[in-house]
Every structure is written in C-alpha cells, then in structure tokens.
Structure 1
Amino acid sequence: MSGNPLPALSAAEQALMDLVWKHQPATVARLLELVNASRPEPITRNTLQTQLSRLEAKGWIRRAEGEKSLEYSAVVKEKKGRVGLLKDLKGRMFGGSALSMMRCLVEEGGISKAEIAELRKLLDEHGKGGKP
C-alpha cells in the first residue's frame, strides 16, 4: 500500500481482519467456521463473502487461487493495520490525544494491573532514549 491512510473498518470487518491475520491464507469455508465459532447467531456464507469483498475493495486483503478454492490473505501487515486503526480511533474519539485515550482505558477498568506494569516499563524505556 502507498502512504495513503487505510480505509476505516467496521467492527465486523475488524473482527474478520483479526481472523485473516491469524489464519492466512484462509478459505471462505475456514473463515466461516472461525467467525461462527463464537457467534450465537451464525452468519451466512453470502454475508461473509460480502465482507471479504469489501475488505478486498478497501485494499486490506487479496484473494488468490488455492489448490481447491479461493484463499484470502492480508495485504496490510497486522502491526501497520492496527497502528492505522488506532490513529483513526485516537483522532475521532479522543481529539488526537494519546493521554486521553490511555486515561479512558485506565479509569474505566479496561487495562489490567499487569498491563499497567508493562506500560510503566515501556514508558520508562521510552523516556530513557528507548524506541519511540
């Protein structure tokens, strides 16, 4: 992908990208099995194919002929995709403030004590000339 920002994803598209990143290359049948494993109401194959088509049109995934059927793989590396989505979320929901975003996570209980300890370690390393 070029330097252009990645198109935003819906919650369903994000969940599907998580599966593609973890299980790529994956067929429609495999993705349908994975998606429906955690759903009380299963989605149909047509619904999944529509979501895959949208992800492909947005440039997030590509399809290729596998041995027996089409296989889907990510075009966007997981880290780059997550960073792009996080920047979008930070901008839209927190006025671009990382502090506001982190404050919300910490104050609303969305971050564990172990994660806070890891965050402290990361901040200490960053403050001492560590990786930005």
Structure 2
Amino acid sequence: MKSLPPLSPAEQALMDLVWQRQPVSVAALLDLVNADRDEPITRNTLQTQLTRLEAKGWLLRDEGERIRLYRAAVQAKKGRGKILSELKQRLFSGSGLSLVRCLVEEGGLSDQEIKDLKALIANHKKGGKP
C-alpha cells in the first residue's frame, strides 16, 4: 500500500462512515456525522474535511450530474490496518502484545471477544487465515 498520511481522530471517524456507507453523498455524511452530536458541524466544515481526505489520498470523489459521491481510495481492512499500526507504534512502541494486553487488562474486551481472540490465535497457530 502506498504511504498515506496519518489521520486525525475526526478524519478517522469520517473514513469509518465512508467505509460503512460508500459511495456516500455529502448530505448523507452530514446527517450521519451530526446524528449523535450536541453541536452539529456545518456542511462547509464537512466539505473541508472531505477535501483534505481526498488530498491525502484516502478518499475518491465521483462527480455525478447532480450529486457528489465519496468513496474510499483504500479498502477498509488496509486502511484500518494502517491506522492500527500507527497507533501501536505511537502508544505501545510497536508492541502488539502490549496493545492487546491493554485491551484485556483495561476491560476493553468482552468475554465473548476474549473467547474469539483465543480461537483466532489457535487458528493462526495452525496456519489458518483470519
């Protein structure tokens, strides 16, 4: 994957919405972004963020006859992998074990998620793919 610049938390949140709903219009994104906000952002603010994501290489814009649609330039799995890799490096000195330990010890994983993680590790040891 080509080198992409890191994302701010707001940009990451937008990318998550795009990955879930793509292709998605500015109006639909604005509704999604503001759904749970006490203080909604404006269309201009959102458009600025989308333009920045496009310039960074994370988004692609499709110009329709009457509507502008955005879609991810990077697959969700690869994009999230890049974000996680940066987080792991920044917060855990590159240690995946430290990242997972933090999730487990700080209560970030449910019992079912821990069970699934154990099964994933067992499958990985057997040479299986996730």
- Relative to the length of structure 2, the TM-score reads 0.95
Aligned to 1:121: 119
Aligned to 1:28: 26
* 1:36-75 correspondence runs (5 A): 36-75=34-73
Aligned to 1:90: 88
Per-residue CA deviations over 1:74-95 (Å, capped at 9, x if unaligned) read 1101000001111111111101
Is the partner of 1:64 in helix, strand or coil? strand
Structure 2: give runs of 5+ residues left out of the alignment. Answer: none
Q: After TM superposition, which residue ranges in structure 1, 4 or more long, deviate above 6 angstroms? A: none
In structure 2, give the amino acid aligned to 1:107: E
Is the partner of 2:127 in helix, strand or coil? coil
Per-residue CA deviations over 1:6-40 (Å, capped at 9, x if unaligned) read 21111110110111111111111111011101111
Structure 1 residue aligned with 2:2, among 1, 4, 18? 4
Q: How many residues align?
A: 130
In structure 1, give the amino acid aligned to 2:111: K
Q: Is the 8 A contact 1:61 1:72 kept in 2?
A: yes
Shift of 1:106: 0.5
Per-residue CA deviations over 1:54-90 (Å, capped at 9, x if unaligned) read 1001100011112411111111010000011111111
Pairwise CA RMSD of aligned residues? 1.2
Is the partner of 1:71 in helix, strand or coil? strand
In structure 1, give the amino acid aligned to 2:99: M
In structure 1, give the amino acid aligned to 2:22: Q
Structure 1: give runs of 5+ residues left out of the alignment. Answer: none
Whole-Å separation in 1 of the counterparts to 2:40 and 2:2: 35
Is the partner of 1:62 in helix, strand or coil? strand
Shift of 1:4: 3.0
